[in-house]
Every structure is written in C-alpha cells, then in structure tokens.
Amino acid sequence: MNTIAGLCGYIVVILLAIYTLYCFTVFRRKDREKQNKIFAKQKMCMFLMHFICNVLLFVVDFDSRIIMLYGIELIFFLCIMKLYEIIYRGLSKLVLNNIVLLSMVGLIMLKRIKVEYAARQLVFIVAGLAVCLLVPLIIKKFRYFGRFGWQYGFIGIIILGALLVVGVEKYGAKNWLSIGGILIQPLEFVKIIFVFAIAALLAGRPSFKKIVAITAMAAAHVLILVLEKDLGGALLYFLTYLVILVVSTGNVLYLVAGLFAGGTASVLAYRLFAHVRRRVLAWRDPWANVDDAGYQIAHSLFAIGTGGWFGMGLGRGIPKIIPVVESDYIFSAICEELGGIFGICLIMVYVSCFIMVSNISIKIDNLFYKFTALGLGIMFMFQVFLSIGGVTKLIPSTGVTLPLISYGGSSVISTILTFSIIQGMYVLYGSEVDKADEAKEKAHEGE
C-alpha cells in the first residue's frame, strides 16, 4: 500500500514536470493546431494529477467529503474551461490552463490541511471564475476605462485610507475589512484599481510636472500601506509603479531615482518600525530565536528540508505545525509533501504566466490596455516572488499570499479578476493587431 502511494507521489511530480515543460515548448510551435494539441496534453496532465492527488488524500483517512468535493471540482473545471473558450474567443489557453492548474494545486493542498478550507476556497473560485465570464462584455461596453486615471487613484486612496480607520488587524497588518463577520481584504482589489490609475495616467504621455503629481498619488498609496503595517503590499505597489513609469517614459533616471528612494525608505522603515526589524532579524538568523520571531521561517525550512526533492507524500508530513500554513506558508507545505521539484515546477508555471502576460502586453496596441496588462502582470509576478522568497528565506518574509494557491477569498478572486481582465483585453484589442503585425512583418521580410 505504502509502496503504491509512494509511486503515485512520483507520478504526480512527473505529471507536473511534463505540464511545465509544455508551458515553455509551446512557444516554439507557431502553428495553432499544434499548439492546441499541446494544450490538450497539458489538460490531460493536470486532470490526471488532480485525480491521483485526490485518491491519495482519500486513502489517508477515507473522508467522503474529499470524493464529493473532487466530483464538484472536476465538473466545474471542465465546464468553466469550455465556457471561457467560448466567451473569451481567442484567449490564451496557456494562461487558462495555468489558472486552473494552480487552483487545483491550491485545492489539493487545502484539502490536505483542512477539508473545510478547500470547500470554501472552491466557492471563491467558482464565484470568481463565473463572475469573470462577464469581464469581456464590460470591457467592450465601457470603452472609456482609460479616461479616469485620477478618479481611480482617488478611489484607491479613499479605500486604503478608510481601512486605517475601520480596518481590522489580522496577522499583524491592519488592512482587513469585516462585513457581517466576513473578513475581506479590499487591498487585493485596490491593487487592480491602482494599476488602472497608473496605466491610464501614464498612457496620456504626461509632462514632468504631471509625473510628479502621479508619483505623489502612487506614493500616497504606498505610505498608507506602510502605516497599515502591510509591508508586502507597500512593496508590491511601489515596484509596480516604478516598472510602469520606467517602461512608459523609457527614462532610466526614474529607475535610479526610484531604487534610491526605495532603498532610503527601507532603511528608514527598518530604523523606525520594530515589526520591520523583527522580520529582518528573523530572516537573517531564524535559528537564534526559533521559539519567537524565527519560528515560522524555521519551521518552513524544516518542512521544505524534510520534504526534499520528492516530498514526504500527500498526507504524510506535518505541515500544520507552521502557523498560517494555509495562507502565506502554503508553499512550504507543498514542498514538504509533494516535494521540492514540484515546488520548482510551480514557480516555472508562474513564470510562464508572466511571460504570457508580458507577451499580451506587447501585442496590445492601446497604451492604456498595454500598461494595464503589464502592470497587472508585474504586480502578480512580484507577489509570487515576495511570497515564495519569504518562505524559502531568500528575502525577509512580508506576509504575502501565493496567488491562486493560498487560502483566502479576496486573494483568489482578485487574481482571477486580474487574469480575466488581461484575457479580456487580449481577445478584444490584442488579437486583431497581432494579425496585422504578423502580416506587416512578413511584408518587411519580403523587402
């Protein structure tokens, strides 16, 4: 029995490895037909993996809810993928596959940690993906999205500022809103509005004076986040703004100035705030205070180290001794039970999402949509970096969730919304230009 379970563990790793490989080899195929074949193979890999993992989970304690949830998930994922392909005609199937795969991995791990988490997460995913079927329609209807840069910025600051007053503190950051007992993190949605704001404003080719004003608006976001003790959030907003600013203006001086300002701010934050120092110290030497500040990161490393390359096997580790393992530290739990190779593959899947988004951004002609796609992609990518970097002790932990995998409605829904917006913009404004471009390029080559 154990041997079979062990073998299945290897198969799961291999399936994800093949899936990941396809994520990158697909770029080499120009032919749509061949690409579609690869996407179909990817689908097979992920549904097979999903199946095996659920069986493995089921045999651990024969909880019938696992089978029930699996059934719902299977039907839902199959249907929603079909629906997306219909409504988002010409969408990036790679991004769609990746989103479903990452959601699956999240559900598997949450099921292993606590079945209730998985059930609730599934509700969020269903709600998110279902609602987002409307996104292309909205983008098409409202053609003037790009005109309200300042308004977006204003709304963002109002929401974040309001949190300072009415926000509820959780995990040390005061950025949660309690509505009828349900905790939501508005920050996750402000992220998107923030990207709209800077994309809209920077797409208007602002003068230097205006850039100063825009920067002040972005800085206000970051400052409020720092006051709410959400360092990860502050970093995300800051880095995203910086990248979009430099890309839109093409001025490297902004990058230098931005990095200088960011560096100075970090040093200041380290000096001023005890909670920042605490995290940095826990990062530099978690072993010196394992029972206190270093506890989480030490246990995260224990988990990853004990798991090794191939993991302890689903249900055979003890991820639950890491505090908030279902959220910020879920990557450690994945590495512990499914293995380091599995973890590395996941990172590659995130990378492929990002490459795809940056491709889409290049293909979109409208500057507002172009910068929005890029901004959302950059925001997403840095979030993955901060999250995984934090739990693997590459950087100090900043308390950021792992998109689509970590437990949490706000995080999951906002990520789905992010990708739906990107896909929507792509199918509406990307593909046409794309074809025109290709035609032109061919013409050029002909000359």
Partner 1 sequence: MKQRKKRMKENRNIAIASYLCLIIFVALIGNLIYFLASDNSVILSNAYNSKRQDLLAQGTVKGSVLSEDGQVLAETITDKKGNEHRYYPYKNMYAHAVGYVDNGKMGVERDYNYYMLRCNSNPLITALNEIKGVKNKGDNIVTNLNSKVQKAAYDALGNRKGAVIALNPDNGKILAMVSRPDYDPNTISKDWKSLIEDKYDESRLLNRATQGLYPPGSTFKLVTLLEYIRENGGGDAFSYKCSGKDVINGTTIKCYKSKKHGEEDIKKAFAKSCNCAFANIGASLNLDQMNSFARTLLFNEDIDYQFEYKKSSFNLSSKSDNDEVVQTVIGQGKTMISPLHNALLAGMIANGGYLVTPSLVDRVETAEDKRVVRTFKQKEKVNVLTENQVRIASECMKETVKSGTATSLAGKKYEAAGKTGSAEFDKSGASHAWFIGYAEYEGKKIAVSIIVEGAGTGSDYAVPVAGKIFDAYY
- CB of residue 24 vs partner 1: minimum separation in angstroms? 12
**Closest separation in Å from C-beta 317 to partner 1:** 7
With CA atoms as reference, report the closest residue to 338 among 4, 1, 100, 16. Answer: 16
Tell me if 426 contacts partner 1 by CB under 8 A.
no
Regarding 378 and contact with partner 1 (CB under 8 A), the answer is yes
Does 396 bind partner 1 (CB under 8 A)? Our answer is no
Task: Return the C-alpha torsion angle 33, 34, 36, 39, nearest 10.
Answer: 180
Q: Is 243 in the site for partner 1 (CB under 8 A)?
A: yes
Nearest residue to 211 via CA among 224, 195, 198, 192: 198
**Residue number, 224 or 245, with CB nearest to partner 1:** 245
Q: Closer to partner 1 at the Cβ: 1 or 166?
A: 1
Q: Does 21 bind partner 1 (CB under 8 A)?
A: no
**At a CB cut-off of 8 Å and minimum separation 6, what does 1 contact?**
59
- Using CB under 8 A, which residues numbered 272 to 301 contact partner 1? 287, 290-291, 298-299, 301
Nearest CA-CA partner of 403 in 417, 421, 424: 417
Tokens linked to 375: 């901004």
Distances (CA, A) of 246 to 191, 241, 254: 19, 9, 6
CB-CB neighbours of 19 under 10 Å: 24
| Gap between the Cα atoms of 334 and 115, Å rounded | 16
Which regions of 83-222 does DSSP assign to beta strands (E)?
A: 168-170, 173-179, 182-184
Judged by CB under 8 A, the residue of 177, 220, 348, 431 near partner 1 is 348
Distance of CA 113 to the CA centre of its chain: 21
Interface residue with partner 1, options 10, 254, 273, 302 (CB under 8 A): 302
Segment near partner 1 (CB under 8 A); pick from 49-57, 110-118, 166-174, 343-351: 343-351
Query: Which member of 136, 343, 403, 409 binds partner 1 (CB under 8 A)?
Result: 343
Does residue 8 belong to the site contacting partner 1 (CB under 8 A)?
no
Are the CB atoms for 383 and 236 separated by under 8 Å? yes
Query: Does residue 430 interact with partner 1 by CB under 8 A?
Result: no
Give the residue, chosen from 127, 133, 257, 355, that forms a contact with partner 1 under the rule CB under 8 A. Answer: 355
Beta bridge partners of 178: 183
How many of the chain's residues bind partner 1 (CB under 8 A)? 50
Judged by CB under 8 A, the residue of 22, 117, 385, 426 near partner 1 is 385
In the complex, the residues that contact partner 1 under the rule CB under 8 A are 2-3, 243, 246-248, 250, 287, 290-291, 298-299, 301-306, 308-309, 312, 316-318, 321, 335, 340, 343-344, 347-348, 350-351, 354-355, 358, 361-362, 365, 367, 370, 374, 378, 381, 385, 388-389, 392-394
